[in-house]
Amino acid sequence: MNRENFTQQKKKVFFCMVVYSLLCEVFSLFILGFRGEFTIGLILGAGAAAINLVILEKVVDLIIEKRKMSVAFLLHLGRFFLFGLLAVLSFMISFLSVIAYAIGVLGLVAGSVITFGKKEG
């Protein structure tokens, strides 16, 4: 996969993540009513997943080009730190926010499955 194709696929994944998050928010309105902590957790989770994908792309680029391995390592650790930091922030808001955070993070999985899923036919 070349860089241009990857960029197009990444945009599709981001679009699917946004649609997934909006659908989760709409669905939660019917179940919970409007709960701000759910919305904040969902935004934090989707944002963490999106930033993770961008950072992972940079890490892979640095490793493939075999330059600045220490920077690649620190960025890789930073991805995990980001997930943990935003999860703790969500927990400080409420437990419902943590659940929404996890649902938001799963948006990356949903977007990837939709974009790269095996096409039948």
pLDDT digits (tens, 9 = 90+) for 53-74: 888 888 888 888 777 788 888 8
Alpha-carbon distance of 16 to 23, in angstroms, equals: 10
Alpha-carbon distance of 47 to 107, in angstroms, equals: 10
Q: Domain for residue 61, yes or no? A: yes
Alpha-carbon distance of 41 to 75, in angstroms, equals: 24
List the structure tokens of 107. 């948006």
Per-residue CA distances from 64 to 8, 11, 50, 102 (Å): 20, 22, 21, 31
pLDDT in the model for residue 29? 83
Q: Domain for residue 121, yes or no? A: no
Q: What is the DSSP letter of 65?
A: T
pLDDT in the model for residue 121? 46
Q: Domain for residue 81, yes or no? A: yes
pLDDT in the model for residue 85? 92
Q: Domain for residue 107, yes or no? A: yes
By residue range, what is the domain housing residue 93?
A: 3-116
Q: Domain for residue 63, yes or no? A: yes
| Whole-number average pLDDT of the chain | 85
Could you tell me where the DSSP H helices lie in the chain? 3-32, 36-64, 69-93, 95-116
Within 8 A by CB and 6+ apart from 105, the residues are 45, 46, 48, 49, 83
pLDDT in the model for residue 89? 92
Alpha-carbon distance of 33 to 85, in angstroms, equals: 27
Considering its fold, how many domains does the chain have in total? 1
Q: Which residues of the chain carry a pLDDT beneath 70?
A: 1-2, 118-121
